[in-house]
């Protein structure tokens, strides 16, 4: 079937005084109707940049230097500013990483949501307020009418996160992009927000691009997962498959660095993401990879399908060695 979103070979750079930061390089992904794709990877791997680029929300010094983005068969990079505005509110909703920058502190929650509703739907003020109460109810805020009259600072962090979701849902998007939707919340609140997202996805058949460094979150609600490192997607496939049998040394390392429960010690990946202004030949992960040999430091590394499965891809020349001898958390 036809993808809601297809990104092909997308590259993004940020211009700085010290040269161009190549934050996203030749990333390809697709999302089918009703599907949730998770993107995971450590801090600085380009997850937010990818999300911002899809909606052309990049900061002033950011620039798309290659590739294509198709939403529902239309090229996002060729849209006029009017068409882009329509797309951003009506069809793709984006909940950015920092809730503080996305809520207006001097406007009530209800007015903010109603404004979004009225920007995209031809409805009266009172109809917009009715729809506002409905979405506040949908995101399980305790008392929609009271909450609508409150200012953001009168709400808790978890409630603010729900308001952001309510704003995103107010226009019934076909695609929802969530950037770290639970970061900074306590574990219980995190779990509630995740359940809520899960329910909303089920009920509405919305497609979701879910960005997080938290693999547990991905495991809970994503059908497929893409593992990102230093601007590239290192492995992509069905979530259960990638988590059960990770083939890329970076994926293995990420999984081994999670708290593992009884008798196992977490094992962080040594080193850090290198300088994104000068990308070395070969594999971007080679310097941190215990499987790397000279062949890994030459040319460009192609994605290969794992065991002939066309939907499980890994960007590694030595994945078979990694599978035969996987990186695992140490037993104590």
Nearer to ligand ATP, 97 or 112 (CB): 97
179: helix, strand or coil:
strand
**Contact pick of 137, 192, 213, 321 for ligand ATP (by CB under 6 A):** 213
* Binding of ligand ATP by 16 (CB under 6 A): yes
Contact 227, 233 (CB under 8 A): yes
* Binding of ligand ATP by 250 (CB under 6 A): no
The DSSP-derived string for 99-152 is HHHHS-TTS-HHHHHHHHHHHHS---HHHHHHHHHHHHHHTT-S-HHHHHTS-G
Question: For residues 19 and 225, what is the distance between their CA atoms, to the nearest angstrom?
Answer: 31
Strands 36-40 and 207-211, sheet pairing: parallel
* Binding of ligand ATP by 177 (CB under 6 A): no
**Contact pick of 21, 141, 201, 208 for ligand ATP (by CB under 6 A):** 21
Segment near ligand ATP (CB under 6 A), from 54-62, 80-88, 119-127, 198-206?
54-62
Structure-token pair, residue 288 = 């941190």
Structure-token pair, residue 26 = 């030749």
Residue 293 backbone phi and psi in degrees, to 5: -125, -175
End-to-end CA distance of the chain: 47
**Contact pick of 44, 184, 274, 326 for ligand ATP (by CB under 6 A):** 44
Structure-token pair, residue 329 = 């958390």
Structure-token pair, residue 209 = 């691009």
* Binding of Mg ion by 49 (CB under 5 A): no
**Contact pick of 17, 43, 81, 101 for ligand ATP (by CB under 6 A):** 43
x/- mask, Mg ion, residues 94-133, rule CB under 5 A, reads ---x------------------------------------
* Binding of ligand ATP by 100 (CB under 6 A): no
Nearer to Mg ion, 222 or 314 (CB): 222
* Contacts to ligand ATP by CB under 6 A: 14, 16, 21, 23, 41, 43-49, 59, 61-62, 97, 213, 276
Binding residues (CB under 5 A) for Mg ion: these are 47-48, 97
């Amino acid at each position: 079937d036809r993808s809601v979103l297809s990104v092909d070979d997308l590259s993004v750079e940020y211009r700085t005084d010290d040269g161009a930061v190549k934050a996203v390089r030749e990333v390809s992904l697709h999302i089918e109707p009703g599907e949730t794709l998770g993107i995971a990877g450590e801090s600085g791997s380009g997850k937010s940049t990818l999300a911002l680029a899809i909606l052309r929300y990049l900061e002033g010094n950011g620039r798309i230097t290659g590739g294509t983005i198709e939403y529902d068969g239309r090229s996002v990079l060729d849209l006029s500013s009017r068409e882009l505005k329509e797309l951003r509110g009506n069809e793709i909703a984006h909940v950015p990483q920092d809730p503080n920058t996305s809520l207006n502190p001097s406007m009530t929650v209800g007015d903010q949501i109603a404004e979004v509703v009225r920007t995209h739907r031809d409805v009266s003020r009172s109809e917009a307020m009715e729809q506002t109460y409905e979405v506040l109810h949908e995101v399980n805020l305790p008392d929609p009418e009271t909450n609508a009259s409150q200012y953001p600072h009168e709400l808790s962090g978890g409630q603010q996160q729900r308001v952001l979701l309510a704003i995103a849902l107010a226009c019934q998007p076909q695609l929802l992009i969530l950037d770290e939707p639970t970061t900074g919340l306590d574990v219980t609140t995190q779990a509630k927000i995740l359940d809520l997202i899960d329910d909303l996805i089920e009920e509405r058949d919305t497609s979701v691009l879910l960005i997080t460094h938290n693999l547990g979150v991905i495991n809970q609600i994503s059908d497929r997962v893409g593992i990102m490192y230093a601007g590239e997607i290192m492995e992509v496939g069905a979530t259960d498959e990638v988590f059960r049998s990770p083939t890329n040394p970076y994926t293995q390392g990420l999984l081994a660095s999670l708290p593992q429960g009884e008798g196992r010690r977490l094992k962080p990946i040594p080193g850090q993401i290198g300088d994104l202004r000068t990308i070395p030949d070969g594999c971007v992960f080679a310097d941190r990879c215990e499987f790397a040999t000279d062949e890994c430091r030459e040319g460009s590394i192609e994605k290969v399908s794992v065991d002939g499965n066309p939907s499980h891809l890994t960007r590694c020349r030595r994945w078979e060695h990694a599978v035969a001898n996987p990186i695992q958390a140490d037993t104590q």
